[in-house]
Amino acid sequence: MTTTGKQLFTTLTADGKLTLEVSEENFPAPTGNQVLVKMEAAPINPSDLAILTSAADFENAEYSHGKVVANMPEPFLTGQKNRHGQRLPAGNEGAGTVIATGDSDMAKALMGQRVACVPGNAFSQYAIADAMMCLPLGDHSSEVGASSFVNPMTALGFVETAKMEGHDAIVHLAAASNLGQMLNRICIEDGMKLVNIVRKQEHVDMLKAAGAQYVVNSSADSYMADLRAAIAETGAFLGFDPIGGGQNTDHVLKAMEQVAASQMSEYSRYGSNQDKSMYMYGRLDLGPTILTPSYGLQWRVQGWLLTPFLQKAGMETVIRMRTRVQQNLTTTFASHYKAKVNLEEMLTKEAISDYRQMKTGEKYLVTPWG
Amino acid sequence: MTTTGKQLFTTLTADGKLTLEVSEENFPAPTGNQVLVKMEAAPINPSDLAILTSAADFENAEYSHGKVVANMPEPFLTGQKNRHGQRLPAGNEGAGTVIATGDSDMAKALMGQRVACVPGNAFSQYAIADAMMCLPLGDHSSEVGASSFVNPMTALGFVETAKMEGHDAIVHLAAASNLGQMLNRICIEDGMKLVNIVRKQEHVDMLKAAGAQYVVNSSADSYMADLRAAIAETGAFLGFDPIGGGQNTDHVLKAMEQVAASQMSEYSRYGSNQDKSMYMYGRLDLGPTILTPSYGLQWRVQGWLLTPFLQKAGMETVIRMRTRVQQNLTTTFASHYKAKVNLEEMLTKEAISDYRQMKTGEKYLVTPWG
């Protein structure tokens, strides 16, 4: 028995055309530990945009109902050579109702339940998911539960990473995001000091109203001095950057070094001996990352990805994190959306031009039956 | 009793003047575990230039006998704020004869011996050194022993780092340097696969003649393809970069990712799950490091410094490394010099313009009594 429904696909061809298209698909009956979820809500996360929009030119694209074809510029076309010609599903996470299951007890126990899941094709009316990765939502709606994996586990993962590496303070860039607000709440709950960096005064106000102690505005003339003061007070020499491009990470490393150097008793040609670490967990800015020679050689910049982190953290930690998410879905881990779109509305010029900007606090929710 | 001799000093003042100057100094009698070394030879290493020349304008500097005053441009003037006004000695390492010692047995045992040492003021006629850090040279001359610490321990440190992190292959940039030639010899001896990257055909030839199996010329049109082939063949996903500025590290990470992605069974929006690591151990190019979004987020770029490495490696490893250096000083760990200068000749326009370029195979040796 197969189920038929609409699903979004993204295809990049070697001639530089990116096609996003909604089409009717057949979903097979779930087997073993699989469940078939009727998807009711799925967020468009920055991590989805890498495959969905990338750097394509949607300003001059060809739009039709449920379809758009845009040109992909270099070096992004060649950089994604390995996907050329492949028709890929999209949408990391979402929530919906289990309408069929495989034979396993774990799968059967989810029958009829509303669950959050991570199927990889969440922009779809149906999805096959692994029962092991489903989070039962109880009385919560699919909208409330749609974002219960990526952002909550990432924010918790930052705090776990800091603890594992012996830190009790964190710097966070683009800190007014949904993820940033979550991280602020977690850090307050856990007593982890957090230096929030934002670009607008309204975001300073918003985070301060939410209890944040250290919020620095990178648009202010006093940015570097403010950042140094916050780092000196918290001892934050570990940071997380979702922007990637430009000098955001560079400026934080520079401020960390200036604080460390000012605390040294004598000059060293190699800079301070303070370890300085920045994790890049996204590429909101696809421009190159610039690292200036301003902080010696005692530093580290590296990527941070959820899946490898969870593998490294181990099952016990992951279960502890998920239980915490489940128990605090409408408080600590609440998400907010700017707009709801169905699969066809998702592919209009108006919607794409808006959500691809990934503006702070302006996340879209896809409701495939809407 | 004090000893009097000439020593080089470097002073950067807040008004942007960098002064290098030879002056008469008094050296106190050594105490405890100290020895007084009559310095006979000291190499000018890239790591010395950070404090000696940095980015100052030596083209338009004021030169006089044993002295030069040059302007330091921004951001390098402000970047070195912590040394403003300080009269600093220079010269990490060198060799000479012990002419006086402190009271400790270890110090007294070195009396009259020729030793290599790491005094931090090696550009001097005399230096106080720690007996613990002196390497007796036996019948070797000071010229042979002058570079027995920084380059040998760094090259050995790369191989130790790779082994500690579970690698059996290394990528090395600017691989025709004295250090690179040493690393090539060590890797051949230890069965560590080494991908050498150089900029000139003559350096390809030189390293191949020295037994190198993988040498890639970054000036060739086929550079990226050659690099990918060498990485695919060796499985080298760890590299060392002394250049820092520009896209050298970026290109290596990109090649590593292309090799890893080509070996994947399906496309991932996050790139391959292959860890890719680059250590930056110098800043031959003081321009910014450029990292493009071409290799997902499973990568790491970090500084590598000898002293923190040795601390991390522990005494047993350090002693093993030093013994190996001592036993192979004229073979594996031999250094070559382009020119010899005394302290005053070191401060002429001709010499500075030449050695500050840190051209491959053109290292200077300072002979303070020459």
HEC string for chain A: CCEEEEEEEEEECCCCEEEEEEEEEEECCCCCCEEEEEEEEEECCHHHHHHHCCCCEEEEEEEECCEEEEECCCCHHHHCHHHCCCEEECCCCEEEEEEEECCCHHHHCCCCCEEEECCCCCCECEEEEEHHHCEECCCCCHHHHCCCCHHHHHHHHHHHHHHHCCCCEEEECCCCCHHHHHHHHHHHHHCCEEEEEECCHHHHHHHHHCCCCEEEECCCCCHHHHHHHHHHHHCCCEEEECCEEECHHHHHHHHHHHHHHHCCCCCCCCCCCCCEEEEECCCCEEEEEEECCCCCCCEEEEECCHHHHHHHHCHHHHHHHHHHHHHCCCCCCCCCCCEEECCCHHHCHHHHHHHCCCCCCCCEEECCCC
- Rounded Cα distance between A253 and A68, Å, is 41
Residue B315 lies in a domain: no
Structure tokens at B330: 């004229």
pLDDT for res A360: 78
Chain A residues whose CB is inside 8 A of the B288 CB are 250, 290-293
Residue A30 lies in a domain: yes
CA-based nearest residue to A161, from A313, A323, A316, A325: A313
Phi, psi of B257 (to 5 degrees): -65, -40
Residue A81 lies in a domain: yes
d(CA B209, nearest CA chain A) in Å: 33
Same domain, A190 and A77: no
ipTM of the complex: 0.86
Q: Is the pLDDT of residue A269 over 80?
A: no
CA-based nearest residue to B61, from B348, B307, B364: B348
Same domain, B286 and B353: no
* Band (A69; pLDDT cuts 50, 70, 90): very high
- Give the residue numbers spanning the domain of A179: 151-309
The residue of chain A nearest to residue B242, with distances taken between CA atoms, is A297
Question: What does the buried/exposed string (b/e) look like for B276-309 if buried means 16 or more CB atoms within 10 Å of the residue's CB?
Answer: bbbbbbbbbbeebbbbbbbbbbbbbbbbbbbeeb
Question: What average pLDDT score do residues A241-270 get?
Answer: 90
Q: Is the pLDDT of residue A88 over 90?
A: yes
The answer to whether B308 contacts A298, with C-beta atoms less than 8 Å apart, is yes
The answer to whether B82 contacts A262, with C-beta atoms less than 8 Å apart, is yes
Residue A318 lies in a domain: no
* Cα→Cα distances B145→B137, B148, B149, B161, B331, Å: 7, 5, 9, 25, 12
Same domain, B161 and B203: yes
* Band (A284; pLDDT cuts 50, 70, 90): confident
- Rounded Cα distance between A362 and A19, Å, is 24
The answer to whether A293 contacts B86, with C-beta atoms less than 8 Å apart, is no
A225 and B CB contact within 8 Å: no
Evaluate whether B110 touches B35 at the Cβ level (below 8 Å): yes
Structure tokens at B279: 């250590």
Choose from B11, B92, B269, B275 for mutation: most chain A CBs within 10 A: B269
pLDDT for res A362: 86
| Environment class of B108 (CB within 10 Å of its CB; exposed 0-12, middle 13-18, buried 19+) | middle
Residue B32 lies in a domain: yes
A246 and B CB contact within 8 Å: no
Chain B residues whose CB is inside 8 A of the A250 CB are 288
Same domain, A63 and A188: no
pLDDT for res B133: 84
Residue A320 lies in a domain: no
- Rounded Cα distance between B369 and B92, Å, is 18
Same domain, B96 and B197: no
The answer to whether A50 contacts B269, with C-beta atoms less than 8 Å apart, is yes
Same domain, B126 and B183: no
CA geometry: angle A93, A179, A330, nearest 5 deg: 75
CATH number at residue A163: 3.40.50.720
d(CA A253, nearest CA chain B) in Å: 12
A:B CB pairs within 8 Å:
106
pLDDT for res A46: 87
Instruction: Select the residue of B244, B270, B301 nearest A305 (Cβ to Cβ).
Output: B270
Same domain, A176 and A187: yes
pLDDT for res A254: 96
Mean pLDDT by 10 residues, chain B (370 residues): 93 96 96 97 92 94 97 89 91 97 95 95 96 89 94 96 97 95 97 97 97 98 98 98 97 96 77 93 92 93 93 89 92 93 97 90 92
Choose from A81, A243, A269, A305 for mutation: most chain B CBs within 10 A: A269
The answer to whether B293 contacts A286, with C-beta atoms less than 8 Å apart, is yes
The residue of chain A nearest to residue B86, with distances taken between CA atoms, is A267
CATH number at residue B99: 3.90.180.10
Same domain, B155 and B111: no
Q: Which residues contact A347 (CB under 8 A, 6 or more apart)?
A: A8, A20, A21, A22, A63, A66, A67, A68
Q: pLDDT (tens digit, 9 = 90+) per residue, A215-239?
A: 999 999 999 999 999 999 999 999 9
Q: pLDDT (tens digit, 9 = 90+) per residue, A323-338?
A: 999 999 999 999 889 9
pLDDT for res B115: 96
Choose from B243, B254, B267 for mutation: most chain A CBs within 10 A: B267
Residue A316 lies in a domain: no
pLDDT for res B173: 98
Same domain, B209 and B251: yes
Chain A residues whose CB is inside 8 A of the B299 CB are 302-303
pLDDT for res A213: 98
Residues 83-112 of B with CB under 8 A from A: 83, 86, 88
pLDDT for res A109: 95
The answer to whether B47 contacts A269, with C-beta atoms less than 8 Å apart, is yes
**Residue that is last in its domain, among A290, A309, A328:** A309
Q: Which residues contact B156 (CB under 8 A, 6 or more apart)?
A: B186, B321, B324, B325
pLDDT for res B132: 82
Same domain, A72 and A123: yes
Same domain, A295 and A158: yes
| Environment class of A213 (CB within 10 Å of its CB; exposed 0-12, middle 13-18, buried 19+) | middle
**Residue that is last in its domain, among B268, B293, B309:** B309
pLDDT for res B290: 98
The answer to whether A302 contacts B302, with C-beta atoms less than 8 Å apart, is yes
* Band (A159; pLDDT cuts 50, 70, 90): very high
Same domain, A131 and A179: no
The domain total for chain A is 2
Instruction: Select the residue of A262, A294, A299 nearest B302 (Cβ to Cβ).
Output: A299
Question: What is the overall mean pLDDT for chain A?
Answer: 94
Q: Is the pLDDT of residue A121 over 90?
A: yes
Residue A327 lies in a domain: no
CA-based nearest residue to B177, from B198, B159, B195, B202: B198
d(CA B240, nearest CA chain A) in Å: 13
